[in-house]
Amino acid sequence: MTDGPDDAVRVLVVDDQQLVRAGFCMVLNSRPDITVVAEAADGQDALDVLERMAVDVVLMDIRMPRLDGIAATRRIVATRPDVRVVVLTTFDLDASVTRAIAAGASGFLLKDVTPEKLIEAVHTVYRGEAMVDAVSTRRLLRQAAPLLAAAPPDAARAEGPTGEIAAVLARLTPREREVLTLMGQGATNTEIAAEQFVSEATVKTHVGHILAKTDSRDRVQAVVFAFRAGLVS
């Protein structure tokens, strides 16, 4: 592990294969604005690390012994909502990825991702933005729709989900609901701007308000909320 500048993004790499961890760590530590603060061989080790270290982004394998990535993601989201979890997968959009997104992951990466895309993804998810392209987002949401609609809300809305979701929707303006619906359909900010006849800067403002009002950590979780609220079917 390395010590980076104080403003570097702090990353925890979780995978049961040491060579995979080493490869990700080598790429990430090559950047002065990213620091791999720890590695973990399974989900339980990751939770132990998070109890004693400050982490911004977790790169989380899904299939691991003891505690898998989905269960670990669910516990991290419940106890450390400030931490962004990105799941690692070998197969594009397999069933485990949709379960991980429903558990609270902020996105996914293929394990054969290029170094440039890996670095970009870490920075993007750290900023709370969508880290998968629009095409992948649409495909993911089509596959995940039944699961997302049926899944319980996150820990912040665990009690009385129906009433809580209705109350959150009531806080959104009509335009914000329209934007959230388009987000749920996989539209980019550019596409939303064209649909609504507004500037991209205006769309970004709406998205920021939506994230705040729905208590979403990032764009992906706002889309999950849209499914659970019935805005997207």
Give the chain's mean pLDDT: 84
CATH architecture of the region 150-228: 3-Layer(aba) Sandwich (3.40)
107-110/84-89 β-pairing: parallel
pLDDT of the residue at 95: 73
User: What residues does CATH 3.40.50.2300 cover in the chain?
Assistant: 9-132, 150-228
Residue 212: both structure tokens together: 């705040």
Q: Is 9-132 a domain of CATH 3.40.50.2300?
A: yes
Are 196 and 176 in contact by the 8 Å Cβ rule? The answer is no
pLDDT of the residue at 109: 84
Task: Identify the band that residue 232 occupies on the pLDDT scale cut at 50, 70 and 90.
Answer: confident
Residue 177: both structure tokens together: 């609901």
Query: What pTM does this model have?
Result: 0.74
Which range among 40-49, 98-107, 151-160 has the greatest average pLDDT?
A: 40-49
Task: Identify the band that residue 76 occupies on the pLDDT scale cut at 50, 70 and 90.
Answer: very high
Query: Position of tokens 């933005």?
Result: 129
pLDDT of the residue at 38: 97
Distance of CA 97 to the CA centre of its chain: 11
Is the per-residue pLDDT at 61 higher than 50? yes
Q: DSSP letter string over 3-42?
A: ---TTSEEEEEE-S-HHHHHHHHHHHTTSTTEEEEEEESS
Please give the Cα distance from 35 to 55 (Å, whole number). 10
Please give the Cα distance from 123 to 117 (Å, whole number). 10
